[in-house]
Amino acid sequence: MIVNFMSILQSLVSPNLLTFSVAPLAHLRPLDIAVIAIYFAMVLWIGFYLKGRSNTGEEFFMAGREMTAWIAGLSFVSANLGSLELMGWAGSAYQYGILATHWYWVGAIPAMLFLGLVMMPFYYVCKTHSVPGYLNLRYGGAASRVAAISFAAEMILMSGVNMFAMAVVMKVVLGWDITFSIFVSSVAVAIYVGLGGLRSAIFNEVLQFVLIWGGALLVPILGLVQTGGVSGLKRQIMANMQSMTGVSSDSYFHLWRDTGHFASNPMGVHWTGIVLGLGFVISFGYWTTDFLVVQRVLAAHNLRAARMAPIIGSFFKMAVPFIVILPGLLGLVLLQNGDGTRRQLVGEDVVAVCSLDSSGQVSDRTGCSAAMAKTNLTAASQQKVLAGGDDAELHSYNQALPLMMVRYLGPGLLGLGITALIAGFMSGMAGNVSAFSTVWTYDIYKPMIKKNGTDSHYVLVGRLSILFGVAVSIGAAYLVMHAHGIMDYVQALFSIFVAPLLGVILFGMFWKRATALAGFLGLLLGIVFSASLFMWVKLVPSALATVALSPDAKPMAENVFRALWAFVFSAIVIIVVSLLTKPKPVAELDGLVYGATVLPKEEPVPFYKNVWLWAILAVCIFAALNILFW
Amino acid sequence: MHGSGIQIWFFIGVQLLIYGVLILGYGIFEAVIGPLAPVELSYLHTPIWWGGLLTVLGLLYVVKFRPGRAAE
């Protein structure tokens, strides 16, 4: 999920990767280029086709609220399935084993089911256009504006960072020029979202979802054929566990067993952080309050479809580790150097310091030597890197998936795999700018600049805001390219906002006593508190031990515990301020708060269409998977 | 999606069909002439069965969700 996005992005844009000549991982052939070109043609065709069906505000910003549960559900889960997710979590699986799966299961499934079963009726019944729109109805304009402005800024900056990250990946994997990648992808996104609005973004997300499976599914299938199945994979990793991973036990294959102490698992996390920080605060914050994903479900054609969409999405989410985690584990035993020896991947910091100069030699031999000494690289491998020449350069954990693609996919299939990565990046950008456009138009422009415009005026503003958003994103992309320090702060925006926003929305939706001032202060002070914790650890790295409650904690643990403390702080502010201020009359909370809302009766449906049935099935599979990989 | 017009599933079908035909075509070429690029497990002729699968899926979606079918 997005918390890992931070570390992945940070590592992907190592300045050395931009400065030095790096041999691309893959060489595309005309058939691969044709596959990629056809994808772009399809995306633009969809945009032009849908232009005629995006004339009103409801059509442009909410896709006409016409989506079926399947389309909304696939789009909901696809909006989160970007290429950085695929590459980053495959790299994390290589590094940490199946602990990385927590971000797909406990870090997603309970929240998705909660959204569908419990929260969706309130979002849907109040007919809001956005999450800040719900806050406006529940708490008034002040809390809504804080949420809207922070969300809009986050979306546009994240879009730029995403754009830049894509360009860097294309440079590393294919050797493409950075400006070329940024220009082509941003123009395509601006055209298809600007013309077709949310409907176009959703269509492309569903298309992307199919392409990702079509392009990435072959890697684990062929990898398992080569290792002799899952048991063969496990046997081969266990046989060389210490030299491969630096981990002496079989922690690589256990989700929960070794999380009783920070030091006993490769990720350096504790189960309390996983359950409360990741499974509750970060996961619920992202899947139930981040408008980027909630907007997809709000586009459903009725309440039942809106409730079913996240439940359908949860089944696909549980399956994603098959194309993400498994390739990472397979990479441990299957990736080879040109001479047939096992290829060991390392961190981006080591890759950066060991970059080759234009003559094919390591430019910083001392630094490279010191960096490699901290890895599991064999002495022979280290010597080979320092000697320079062909096949000497190191590859990072994040390149596990592209390397596996290159290993198995020939002409055409490789193009499909690369198309899946490009599609993932572009739909991520499209999601950012479409959500930005809606929040800008309905939650900032309309209440603060022009209250009584016509519907067509707001659609025009929406279209222009997409062009504006893409233009600013390009600016942000180049800003990040020339000032890498900014990246840390841009990426931290999500983790800083998410926990306080979750607190405000949960209390607003389930506690009639929560007041307008409490909502505003809970959000604002929660953001300040969360940002302060972030800056504290940034400026004083040893503070990590305090925030994550253990000297053995690693940065991943800091993310989850910071979110937990920010939520607790925000909750305390909301409770205290609410008890000191006057609440709204219950009659004004109809459609907004549990206990004050009469939910519409749903039409009777056959048992196999019942949302509770599918939710229970999802819970059973979720529980079984966690027990199986305990 | 509800309403008239081309459904997303049709677009997906077209895309899968085109990709399937291209990859299947290369797979047959590779089986006859030999691979243009050496990859692991090439003896499994992955482009043939994967391209074939994409072609069949694409064809099913194109036929089932072709524009105007609902009005028939």
Q: What is the pLDDT of residues A23-64, one digit of tens each?
A: 677 788 999 999 999 999 999 999 898 888 888 888 888 888
Cβ distance of A53 and B5 shorter than 8 Å: yes
pLDDT at B72: 43
In the predicted structure, residue A203 carries a pLDDT above the cut 50? yes
In the predicted structure, residue A17 carries a pLDDT above the cut 60? no
Higher-pLDDT residue of A354, B64? B64
pLDDT at A483: 66
Read off φ and ψ for residue A276, nearest 5 degrees. Answer: -80, -45
Q: Which of residues 2-31 of B touch A (CB under 8 A)?
A: 2-3, 5-6, 8, 11-12, 14-16, 18-19, 22-23, 26-27, 30
Total structural domains in chain B?
1
Cβ of B62 under 8 Å from any chain A Cβ? no
Residue B2 lies in a domain: no
Residue B59 lies in a domain: yes
CB of A139 closer than 8 Å to CB of A508: yes
Instruction: Please report, for chain A, the start and end positions of each structural domain, with discontinuous segments joined by +.
Output: 2-335+403-449+457-595+604-628, 348-394
Cβ distance of A67 and B1 shorter than 8 Å: yes
List CB contacts (< 8 A) between A39 and chain B: 15
CB of A329 closer than 8 Å to CB of A222: no
Residue B1 lies in a domain: no
Domain that holds residue B59: 8-71
The burial of A262, by beta-carbon neighbours within 10 Å (0-12 exposed, 13-18 middle, 19 or more buried), is given as buried
Of A50, A69, A49, A309, residue with least CA distance to A198: A50
Q: What is the pLDDT of residues A291-350, one digit of tens each?
A: 888 888 988 988 899 999 999 999 999 999 999 899 999 998 888 877 777 788 888 778
List CB contacts (< 8 A) between B47 and chain A: 410, 412-413
pLDDT at A320: 92
Q: What is the pLDDT of residues A417-456, one digit of tens each?
A: 999 888 888 888 888 888 899 999 999 999 899 888 899 9
Read off φ and ψ for residue A90, nearest 5 degrees. Answer: -65, -40
- Flag the least confident range among A85-89, A95-99, A261-265, A295-299: A261-265
Residue A514 to residues A126, A127, A540, A580: CA-CA distances in angstroms? 18, 21, 36, 10
A573: its two tokens: 């502010």
Q: For the residues of A277-332, what is the DSSP string, one character each?
A: IIIIIIHHHHHHH-HHHHHHHHTBSSHHHHHHHHHHHHHHHHHTHHHHHHHHHHHH
Q: Which of residues 275-314 of A touch B (CB under 8 A)?
A: 301
Position B48: which residue type? I
Cβ of A31 under 8 Å from any chain B Cβ? yes
Structure confidence at residue A397 as a pLDDT band (50, 70, 90):
confident
List CB contacts (< 8 A) between A411 and chain B: 26, 36-37
| Partners of A300 in beta bridges | A67
Cβ distance of B12 and A206 shorter than 8 Å: yes
A283: its two tokens: 């996961």
A67 three-state secondary structure: strand
> What is the rounded distance in angstroms from the CA atom of residue A132 to the CA atom of residue A149?
9
Nearest to B35 among A64, A218, A410 (CB): A410
List CB contacts (< 8 A) between B1 and chain A: 66-68, 71
H-helix segments, A101-177: 109-114, 120-125, 131-139, 141-174
Tell me how close the Cα of A66 comes to any Cα of chain B, in angstroms: 6
> What is the rounded distance in angstroms from the CA atom of residue A138 to the CA atom of residue A122?
11
CB of A504 closer than 8 Å to CB of A143: yes
Cβ of B47 under 8 Å from any chain A Cβ? yes
Nearest to A413 among B3, B14, B50 (CB): B50
Count how many pairs of residues, chain A against chain B, have C-beta atoms within 8 Å: 90
B interface mutation test: which of A31, A32, A58 has the most B CBs within 10 A? A31
Cβ of B32 under 8 Å from any chain A Cβ? no
Nearest to B41 among A49, A226, A411 (CB): A226
Nearest to B47 among A66, A301, A410 (CB): A410
> What is the rounded distance in angstroms from the CA atom of residue A541 to the CA atom of residue A539?
6
Structure confidence at residue A138 as a pLDDT band (50, 70, 90):
very high
Q: What is the pLDDT of residues A455-503, one digit of tens each?
A: 999 999 999 999 999 999 898 888 877 765 665 666 667 778 888 999 9
Q: What percent of chain A has pLDDT over 70?
A: 92
Q: What is the mean pLDDT of residues A581-602?
A: 84
Tell me how close the Cα of B31 comes to any Cα of chain A, in angstroms: 13
ipTM field: 0.93
List CB contacts (< 8 A) between B27 and chain A: 412
pLDDT at A32: 93
A77-A124-A603 Cα angle (round to 5): 100
In the predicted structure, residue B20 carries a pLDDT above the cut 50? yes
Structure confidence at residue A248 as a pLDDT band (50, 70, 90):
low
Sign of CA dihedral A97, A103, A104, A106: positive
In the predicted structure, residue A535 carries a pLDDT above the cut 50? yes
In the predicted structure, residue B70 carries a pLDDT above the cut 70? no
| A299: nearest CA partner in chain B | B1
Residue B44 lies in a domain: yes
The total number of residues shown for chain B amounts to 72
Residue B21 lies in a domain: yes
pLDDT at A504: 94
pLDDT at B10: 94
Mean pLDDT of chain A: 85
Nearest to A49 among B6, B12, B18 (CB): B6
Cβ of B35 under 8 Å from any chain A Cβ? yes
In the predicted structure, residue A5 carries a pLDDT above the cut 50? no
Query: What is the CATH number assigned to the segment(s) A2-335+403-449+457-595+604-628?
Result: 1.20.1730.10
